Amino acid sequence: MLLASLVAVPAAQAAPAGAPPAPTTRIDQRALDWRPCEDLEPVGDTAMECATLTVPMARSTDGGRVGDLAETLQIALSRVPATGTAEHTVLVNPGGPGSAGRKWAAHTHNRMPEELREIYDVVAFDPRGMGASTPNVTCDPAYFAPVRKDSVPADAMEERALREDAEAYADACARNTGPLLDHMRTEDTAHDMDAIRVALGLEQVDYLGYSYGSYLGTVYASLYPDSVRAVVLDSVVDPDLPWYESNLRQSRSLDRAAENFFDWIARHDGTYGLGTDGGAVSAAYYDLRARLREAPLEDTVGPSELDGAASVVAYSGNSWPSVAEALAAQVNDADPAPLLKLHDTYGDDADSDPAFGGYLAVQCTDAPWPRDWDTWDTDARRVHEDAPFLGWHNIWYNAPCASWAGEADPWFQVGDGPYEHPAYEGDVLVVHATEDGATPVEGAHSLRDRLPGSSLVIEDGGITHGVALTGNTCVDETVVAYLKDGVLPERGADGPDVTCEARPEPSPRGAQSTEPTQVERLGPIGLETSR
C-alpha cells in the first residue's frame, strides 16, 4: 500500500481574478419544513426527514428566474441530522442521471464513521423531474416489456426496427412530459443545488457525488465557487467527453470489466464449471445469449434482458457470485430460476421508465448528439467489434437522443480555454478504481488536470464503481481526513497523488457469509438500481 503524505490545505478558495461572478440564487422559500418521510422506509435503523423546495423551472444564465411565476418545480429533499452538533452539511448525489437520490441521505450517513456522523447533517434530493420531485419526466412504461428485440441487430431490417422503437420512445417523452424537457440540463440541477444551500441557511455546503454526480459537482463548483467547502468526486465522468463520445469509450471499459469477470469465473471453475480460462467462459456466455434469442426464458429473459441484468458485473464485484451462479445454473443445469431472479433484481421493467426518461432528459440536452443515423451506425459497428459485451446495447440505450425534442446546449466544459467555464480552484478530492467499468479511469486523470486544486486517490485494481466510504481503509481514511479536518493529499506533478491497494476480489458464493451489498446504477453512467 502506497500512501502519499497528507498536508492541511484551505477548505475553499475564491474564484480567480477576472472570473465571471457566480450566479445569484433566487428561490421561492428560504426555510424548509422538515417532517418524517411518509414515502421513504428507513435504511437499516436510520430514518430520514423530508421536505420540499420550490424552484423556478427556467432560469437565466445568472441563475435568476425567467418566465411566468407559475412555472415552478418541487424538489424533494431528505435529511439525516448529525448525531451530535452539526458543524457541516454534505449534499449527496448518487449518480444517474435519472436517479431518485433521497435514500442516499441514509446510505451516506450509515457509511460514515461515527466521527463524521457526529458532525455532519447529510442532505440528499431527487433531482428535478425525478423521483418524488414534481412534475416528473414521463415517457412510456411499456418500452421495457419483455421480451425486447435483440439489441444486436442481425440485419438492416432489425436495426431499422430498433431505431423506430427509440424514436417512438423519444416522441412519448416529449408528448407526456412537455416543457420540462427543455430545462433538464446538469446546469439546471446545479442551480437547484444552490437553492437547497440557501434554503438550508448555509453559506457553504460540502458535496459528495458519485459517477454522474461527479460531473454535477464539477459544474456546481464552477458556477458557485464560494458556496462549497469540501468536494469529493468519486468514479468520475471524463469532463472532456460529451455524452455521445463518453458512451463510446465507456462501452470498451464495460467490455474490459466483463472480461475481468469471465477470468474470475475461470479461476473458480470448480464452483461454476463454465471453463478454465476467460475465453472459454466468454464463449459460454455468448452461446447462452444466442440461445436466448431463439428461445427466451419463460417469455421474460431474451438476449437484451440478459445484457441488462449481466451489466451489473461492470459496476460491482459484489455481484459477481450471483451472476456467475445464474449463468452456471442455466448453462450447466438448464435451471432458469436464478437467471430470472437476476433479471428481476437488476433488469428493466415498467418501473424503469421514470429513471430511464430522466436519464435521457439530462444526457440528450447536456450536449448536442448526432442527428445523422449513419454516424451512429458506423460507430456502433466499430464499437461492437471491439466491445461485444454491451457495444450495441449501449447504442440503443442512448439512441432516443438522436431524435430528442428537448433543446441541447453546448457541453459545460471547465477549464481556462476559449468558451470554457472557469474551473473551481479550491480543494477537491477525486477518487477512482482502475478497473471500474462504468466510468473509465482515464476520466479521473482528465478531471484532475482540469481542477488545479484537486488530488487524486486511485484504488489500484479496484473493480467496483463507487469507492469512497465503502470499506477500503486506505481510501476511507483519506476521505475522512479531508471531510473532517480539511486535510487533502499533497498534489504532485502528475497523478495519482495517493495509490491504495484494491480490496480482495470476491469469493464464490459458497465461501461468502453475507449477501452482496446494494448496487446503485443507471444506464451507462449512473448508480441507480434500474438499468
Beta bridge partners of 49: 36, 79
H/E stretch holding 168: helix 156-177
Cβ-Cβ contacts under 8 Å for 380 (sequence gap 6 or more)? 391, 392, 395
Q: What 3-state DSSP class applies to 181?
A: helix
For residue 324, the one-letter residue type is: A
C-alpha distances in angstroms, 465 versus 123, 328, 519? 22, 25, 9
Conformation bin of residue 27: beta by default, left when phi > 0, alpha when psi is -120 to 50: beta
CA distance 57 to 212: 21
For the chain, what is the total number of helices (H) and then of strands (E)? 16, 12
- Copy the grid coordinates of residue 393: 446495447
Cβ-Cβ contacts under 8 Å for 199 (sequence gap 6 or more)? 27, 29, 30, 31, 32, 53
C-alpha distances in angstroms, 413 versus 239, 252, 398, 522? 7, 23, 21, 23
In order, the DSSP letters of 72-139 are EEEEEEEEE--SS---EEEEEE--TTT---TTHHHHHHHHS-HHHHTTEEEEEEE-TTSTTSBSPP--
- Copy the grid coordinates of residue 241: 467527453
Q: What 3-state DSSP class applies to 391?
A: helix
Q: What 3-state DSSP class applies to 43?
A: strand
For residue 317, the one-letter residue type is: G
Please indicate whether residue 374 is annotated as part of the active site.
no
CA distance 329 to 292: 14
For residue 301, the one-letter residue type is: V
Q: What 3-state DSSP class applies to 456?
A: strand
Beta bridge partners of 443: none
- Contact status, residue 391 vs residue 383, Cβ threshold 8 Å: yes
- Residue in 255, 436, 476, 497 annotated catalytic: 436
- Residue in 88, 432, 445, 465 annotated catalytic: 465
Beta bridge partners of 234: 210, 431
Q: What 3-state DSSP class applies to 309?
A: helix
Q: What 3-state DSSP class applies to 186?
A: helix
In order, the DSSP letters of 329-362 are HHHHH---HHHHHHHHHHS--GGGHHHHHHHHHH
- Copy the grid coordinates of residue 72: 415552478
Please indicate whether residue 530 is annotated as part of the active site.
no
**Phi, psi at 229, each rounded to 5°:** -105, -60
Question: Given the C-alpha cell 468514479, which residue does it identify?
Answer: 235
Please indicate whether residue 465 is annotated as part of the active site.
yes
For residue 190, the one-letter residue type is: A
CA distance 348 to 530: 6
- Residue in 133, 211, 227, 454 annotated catalytic: 211
Strands (E), 146-192: none
Residues involved in catalysis? 211, 436, 465
